[in-house]
Amino acid sequence: MSDNNIICRCSDLTKEDIRRLIEEGYTTFDEIKRVSRAGMGPCQGRTCMPLILREISIITGKPISEIMPGTYRPPVKAITLGQIAEACTEGGNEHD
């Protein structure tokens, strides 16, 4: 994989970008996310998180199982604010 391959499609970050951040000392997914916006776009890290964890593992020498993944946050899929408000108003207690 070449260094200018895109790792985070939502925030347009290449492998080179990610490797530079790891080398600068951001060695957890959460830190890389916060400093670069990787994983903050519409896909919420579903594409980039495994790739970034692998890069951290390669550079730090730690197995992936020992590297803290990012937190998965709601919602699972993007949803409009109007859809939520409407479901709450009309749908009664559907979520109970």
Partner 1 sequence: MIKSADVVIIGGGISGVAIAYNLAKKGVRNVAVIEKGYLASGSTGRCGAGIRQQWGTEMNCRIAKFACELFENANEELEYEGDIEFKQGGYLMISSTEKEHEQFKKNVELQNSLGIPSRLLSLEEAKEIVPFLNTDGLVSATFCQKDGHLNPFHTTDAFARAAERLGVKIYKFTEVTSIITENNRIKGVRTTKGDISTNVIVNAAGGYSQQIGKMVGIDLPIYSERHQILVTEAIDQVLEPMVMSFSLNLYCQQVPHGGLLMGRGDEGEPRDLRITSGWHFLEEMTKTITNVLPPLKNARMIRQWAGLYNITPDRQPILGPVDEVEGFYLAVGFSGHGFMFGPATGVLIAECILGEDTTLPIDMLHLNRFKKGELIFEPSVV
Instruction: Based on the shown chain and the rule CB under 8 A, indicate whether residue 61 belongs to the binding site for partner 1.
Output: no
30 lies in the binding site for partner 1 (CB under 8 A): yes
- Separation in Å, CA 89 to CA 1, 60, 85, 96: 49, 50, 6, 14
The gap between the terminal CA atoms of the chain, to the nearest Å, is 47
Minimum CB distance to partner 1, residue 50 (Å): 18
Binding site for partner 1 (CB under 8 A): 28, 30-31, 34-35, 37, 40-42, 44, 71, 73-75, 78-82, 84-85, 88-89, 95
